[in-house]
Every structure is written in C-alpha cells, then in structure tokens.
Structure 1
Amino acid sequence: MAGTLNDRQPDDEPAPDRAGAKRARWGRGRRLLLTGGLLAGLLLIALAAGFFHFAASLPDKVAEPARRTDAIVVLTGGSGRVSTGLRLLERRRADKLFVSGVYKGVDVSELLRVSQQAPGWLTCCVTLGYEAETTYGNAIETAAWVQRNGFGSVRLVTAAYHMPRSLLEFRRRMPEVTIVPHPVFPDHVKQDEWWRWPGSAHLLLGEYGKYLVARVRALVTGPLQAAGVSG
C-alpha cells in the first residue's frame, strides 16, 4: 500500500539541523574566547599587582651599615657600586672585597683609580672576577670564590632595584652563607616616584620581568647546595 511507513524512502529522512550545529559550535567558541579573555585579564591584574608590590618593597636604606662580614661582594653594572664597596673595605667592614663581573683586562689598580681611590693597602685585599656576565653568573662566580675562601658571611653591594633578584640568586647558590644586603641608590633612578619618570618606570618593569624569570627558574630547578652544581 503506497504511502505507508514501511514504504518511506531514505530521501524522506529529516535533513540534519546544520544551522543548529553551527550555532552550537559558535557558542562553544565564544565561551572559550570569553574564558581565555577572563584568564588573560586575571593574569594581567596579578602581574600588575605583583609589579606594584615589587616596586614598593625595594629597599630605601641600608639596614645594617656597621655590621662586619667576612667579605664584601660588589656586582658591577651600575654607578656607585665599586666606590661603595671600596669605602666599606676602607672602613674595615670586611677584610676582603670581591668584584664580580669585571670587564676582562681591568686590573685592581685601574679599578681603584677609576673609582677615585688611592691604591695603597687596598690593592692586596681586592679580588676581581671576570667570568660573570649576568646576575645568575655573578652568583655562580661569587659562590665559588666564597667556597674557596671558607667565608660564612658576605655584604652584597648592588643597586637597590637590583637587590631582590641578586638576593634570590645568591641565597639559592649559597644557602648556608649569611648575606647582608647593602643597596646603592643611583641618582638617575627615581625609586620613590618612578611613575613620574618614564626611564625609571621602564627600568623597574624590566627588572621585575627578570626577577620573575629568576623566581620561575628557582622553582623549577630547586635550591642548589654546591657552587659547582649547574642549574
């Protein structure tokens, strides 16, 4: 009998709802975009909050200026660092001074002359390190020197904005050594009102980024107990 259900041909099947499937895919894509945008926004907020905390927590004074340590360590790369280290040595805050990251070819006498210090007796107490090119390298180079000399404490001299990353790298490399921070405050870095000075803002943003990279590396590779261990 024509027209019965048993006689229905394949062409009589209802057409798939292509428009509905397209709307469903579009809805899923929209939800993914919204979720990704929300996560990106939260990440930006977290990074911004972290930067403001970083800038606000930078040292604004030398906490323990009179404390003696076994050695003084100066990280090159900014104004006032070497001269500060030499003054501390002259004032007997330590018996030895290590300058990390010196350009090859620079000797102690030239360093003292450039820093406007009379060579005199200071020459015999200063050691230069030529291997380091980064803060990470400074920590490796200094740790090896500290280990060779059996020192248990050092005064770390570097710029205030550079101090958080330096302390992170140094304490990771030398967990059993007492590290006393001695920040230097370059005139060109407007630390208190950095938002009013594009140069200072750019410098602090760059340093914050490097600090985050150092934190991630420390979390991934873990603490290092020996100067000779790579990581």
Structure 2
Amino acid sequence: MRGLFTWAIIIAVVAFVAGFWGFAENVREPAQEPERADAIVALTGGSLERLSTGVRLLEERKGERLLISGVNRVVTDEELLDAALNVDPAIADRIDLGRSAEDTLGNAAETAAWARERNYTRLILVTDDYHMPRSHAELSLALPEAEIVPYPVRTRWTDPALWRSDLAAASRIGAEYVKYLVIRGREAVLSLGKSDEEESAADPA
C-alpha cells in the first residue's frame, strides 16, 4: 500500500510539472491580430500596457466601446485617462471605467454585467499573457453566451530564459498555473452538478 501511495505521489508530481511546463510554454504564444468585435475589455493589474493596448484597439475600431475593469476607486477618470494613458479626447466618451472588481473573478462578473447591459456577444479580452488563461476561463464561465477573443500582452515573465533560471519568475508563473487549475476544477464540478440536475429533470420519479 505504501508503495502505491509513493507511486501516486510521483505520478502527481510529474503530471503537475509537465502541466506547468506546457502552460508556461503556451502562454508565450504571440497574440493574433483580432477581427472586429462588439467591444473590448482590458483588465487592470500587472502592466499598464494592458490598458494602453485596450486603448489602441479602440482607436483602431476593433470594438465600439472599451471597458477598463478593476480600476482603483481612489483613481479619478482624469488621472487614468489623461495622465496615465494620454487618451485622445475624441474616444474618451467610448471608455467605461469599472471600479467594482477587486480580483479576476470580480473582473469577470463586472465585465459580464457590462456586456449584458449592452447586448454584446463578442468581446476582445486584453490582459497579460500569463494571466490570460485564467481570465479567459473566468469570463467564459461568467458570460457563456458570448465569444471571448483573447489578446494577450507579452510580458518578460513568460520568457523561457527567465522562468527557467529565476525562482521569482517561475513562482509567478507557477502560482498562476495553480489558480488556473482551481478554476478548471470548479468548472468541472459545476458541469457535473448541472448534468445531474438535467438527468433528474428528464427522469421523473
């Protein structure tokens, strides 16, 4: 029995390391230029380039509006749009600042409410490359009726030369991978519960 337990641990560790390696390699894939969508959403946190990229896509008319989700409540519109992002006044009225989200789950809820209010069904999602899998998964769960088009922003953290040699970089990617696994696990549990409910409804007692 002890031998089986040891082998189970070894297999789990190998599976985790292989999964982490694949995750770290995949998030480095370059972004594909997106086709036009209903709107764009950029998530705060990480690099400011997330937001400037969202603004650029709006300028390029990739969507009719831009939501910046997770803006700190103490930051004014002028501080963010004028001072930090230097937004062209001609497009400023097409940018919405969301201040209710405090984490990725909150970003998804805030974005889903915003999109449903405007009947948007195709969104371009902008966030850092290593943060994209989790953000995409959360938003897809919160807004299943919409098509979510990922547009990741390249960061230094996903450079293989860095995370393979630097513990801080590897830890950052590893923590993100674990959070992503948690979301996928939650998604599997929710799907299982939904299937059980549908079977019960289809098979009356």
In which range does the TM-score fall when normalised by the shorter chain? 0.7 to 0.9
Letter in 2 for 1:203: R
Question: 1:167: which partner in 2?
Answer: 136
The SS at the match of 1:61 is coil
For the structure 1 residues 115 and 68, does the alpha-carbon distance in structure 2 shift closer, same or farther, using more than 3 Å as the test? farther
Question: 1:146: which partner in 2?
Answer: 115
Task: Decide which structure has greater helix share.
Answer: 2
Confirm or deny that 1:37 pairs with 2:2: no
Matches within 5 A, 1:17-166: 32-65=1-34, 67-79=35-47, 80-166=49-135
Deviation at 1:178, TM superposition (A): 1.3
Task: Tell me the distance in 2 between the aligned counterparts of 1:222 and 1:141.
Answer: 22
Task: Tell me the distance in 2 between the aligned counterparts of 1:38 and 1:218.
Answer: 28
Size of the alignment, in residue pairs?
A: 190
Q: TM-score, normalised by structure 2?
A: 0.86
Partner deviation per Cα, 1:51-99 (whole Å, 9 max, x = no partner): 111112214211134x111111001111111111111111211110001
Paired-residue identity, %: 40
Does the aligned pair in 2 maintain the 1:109–1:119 contact within 8 Å?
A: no
Letter in 1 for 2:122: S
Task: Tell me the distance in 2 between the aligned counterparts of 1:168 and 1:129.
Answer: 20
Matches within 5 A, 1:142-221: 142-186=111-155, 188-193=156-161, 194-221=163-190
Does the aligned pair in 2 maintain the 1:83–1:115 contact within 8 Å?
A: no
Deviation at 1:35, TM superposition (A): 2.0
Deviation at 1:190, TM superposition (A): 4.1
Task: Tell me the distance in 1 between the aligned counterparts of 2:105 and 2:20.
Answer: 21
170-179 vs 149-158, which moves further: 170-179
Task: Tell me the distance in 1 between the aligned counterparts of 2:99 and 2:78.
Answer: 15
Partner deviation per Cα, 1:188-219 (whole Å, 9 max, x = no partner): 42423220232221111110011111111111
Task: Tell me the distance in 1 between the aligned counterparts of 2:92 and 2:76.
Answer: 10
Question: 2:203: which partner in 1?
Answer: none
- Ranges in structure 1 where 5+ consecutive residues have no aligned partner: 1-31, 224-231
Task: Tell me the distance in 2 between the aligned counterparts of 1:91 and 1:182.
Answer: 14
Task: Tell me the distance in 1 between the aligned counterparts of 2:141 and 2:127.
Answer: 17
Letter in 2 for 1:44: V
Q: TM-score, normalised by structure 1?
A: 0.77
- Ranges in structure 2 where 5+ consecutive residues have no aligned partner: 193-205
Does the aligned pair in 1 maintain the 2:42–2:68 contact within 8 Å?
A: yes
Partner deviation per Cα, 1:139-169 (whole Å, 9 max, x = no partner): 1110011000101111100001111111111
Deviation at 1:113, TM superposition (A): 2.4
Task: Tell me the distance in 2 between the aligned counterparts of 1:198 and 1:185.
Answer: 20
